[in-house]
Chains A and B, each alone.
Chain A
């Protein structure tokens, strides 16, 4: 129950961070010698896929604890929206996306010169507890009258759901295409739908609020999560340090405990 408080604080920080991260045309590649060994410091804005909320909130705290004077602010949202925002000049220092495709759009704009995959995730069916509709497999979602929520097509979890349905040759007509994976989860938790296609990690994060129906690995769809420091970041050294931290054993352990698989 402490999460909302953290979010409020994060939102307040995000507002104050907007003013400090002005437009910067310095290229991070030119001065590695001066900043290479310097300790990470300052404010860092990380744009991350909604599905990373729990894992990255924990990683952010650990990173702050390991680097005094650093404050990390997260902007969690649909990967595609974040990519659009970064392309439009949003002051992001780091982008962690739920798919290679959304990272491609940022890379195509020349803003993500180097990227690393840091985790993988796969899909799971989330159902409301005490549901009157019995769901034990993907095929059950195709039955008439079963209400299914998925992410919209542009978001990695939506594209993944589509691939999942095609791969398993099931015809599923969702009742809603939500903005991001957390919105799908919310509709499941409220019991407004009988099932939602979310990530394995979301089912774990939701705890007792949803019941997961596992999709066997050979029927499932896996997506890679790339991370990149954004070119033109006002705090490039710290951005690189954060990326390194996510890839480090400490970061990987946090991701693993949130249910992510290794890259």
Chain B
């Protein structure tokens, strides 16, 4: 199409100036965090009881949310990409709702559905004594709600972009449907599955609005890293900054890990 598009030249200033402003705007806050960081007290701050509780809780819940997202999100991604059923397009649209929904709205929605007096929650409470709000599983529910769409969309895109002739070939050679999925499809979408999983994990780790609304805030039980950062800002700002650095580190790790993967194979559709 545009063959000259790749040639690099000195950008004209009407482009360069706003571009530099945009870059500075995105970089400066991160720089501010790094400059203001209490490097001397970092170890002490990160090994405090509140920090360790929040770190542990965040890791456990974000990993759980990722595992659940793969367990139920992968089948849904496969259905959306491969199966023909009425309302498929509608279902695809529904999956993206949590992506664009403000997380705090998601939290309220979760309360109204899974809260103690919620649509589903009241039966969970009366039949099995399960109450999700204010519990660690509640945090996992909130994180899964917000993060699972990343996995579904990434994997679904990969499945749709897949060359189906490879699967057809395996099938004609006598492989069963499940064997085709395990030995052909899964390895082919493997990188996307990993990318989707990492994105899901990162999103779950950073979840704030839905968590604080649905699961509340209690150190050691539902106070994840972002909540500890928010609460810390009022009591001990240095601690908030130290914990922010941890989250920043994770974000950078995700970017480095997926540097050329998720944009290419991700939202291919």
Contact = CB atoms under 8 A, between A and B. Distances in A.
Given A81-B234, A154-B234, A192 B218 contact: no
20 contacts: A80-B234, A81-B233, A84-B233, A84-B237, A147-B134, A154-B231, A174-B218, A175-B216, A176-B217, A177-B216, A177-B231, A178-B217, A179-B217, A179-B230, A190-B117, A192-B111, A192-B115, A192-B116, A192-B117, A192-B134
A95 B231 CA distance: 21
Which of B111, B231, B237 has the most A CB atoms < 10 Å from its CB?
B231
Interface string A167-204: 00000001111110000000100111100000000000
Interface of A: 78, 80-81, 84, 147, 149, 152-155, 174-179, 187, 190-193
Contact of B222 (A80, A154, A155, A176): A176
A190 B2 CA distance: 58
A190 B115 contact: yes
B133 A78 contact: no
B216 A176 contact: yes
Given A176-B134, A192-B134, A187 B216 contact: yes
Top-4 shortest CB links A-B? A176-B216, A154-B234, A175-B134, A80-B234
Nearest to B217: A177
A154 B231 CA distance: 8
B235 interface: yes
A194 to B, nearest CB: 9
Contact of A191 (B116, B219, B231): B116
B235 A154 contact: yes
B115 A153 contact: no
Contacts of B222: 176
A152 B217 contact: yes
B241 interface: no
Contacts of B134: 147, 175-176, 192-193
A79 B43 CA distance: 30
B212 interface: yes
Nearest to B212: A179
A153 B235 contact: yes
A153 B234 CA distance: 10
Given A177-B219, A178-B217, A190-B111, 6 more contacts: A84-B237, A152-B231, A153-B235, A154-B235, A179-B230, A192-B115
A175 B132 CA distance: 12
Contacts of A192: 111, 115-117, 133-134
B231 A149 contact: no
A175 B231 CA distance: 16
B61 to A, nearest CB: 16
A78 B234 CA distance: 10
B267 to A, nearest CB: 32
A179 B217 CA distance: 8
B199 to A, nearest CB: 28
Contacts of B233: 81, 84
Contacts of B111: 190, 192
A175 B230 CA distance: 18
Nearest to B214: A192
Contacts of A177: 216-219, 231
A78 B217 CA distance: 15
Nearest to A194: B116
A7 B234 CA distance: 25
Interface in B107-159: 111, 115-117, 133-134
A120 B246 CA distance: 41
B216 A149 contact: yes
A176 B218 contact: yes
Contacts of B234: 78, 80-81, 84, 152, 154-155
A152 B235 CA distance: 10
A210 to B, nearest CB: 14
Nearest to B216: A176
A89 to B, nearest CB: 14
B23 to A, nearest CB: 24
A192 B213 CA distance: 11
Interface in B182-228: 212, 216-219, 221-222
Nearest to B240: A84
Contacts of B117: 190-192
Nearest to A187: B216
A80 B233 CA distance: 9
A175 B218 contact: yes
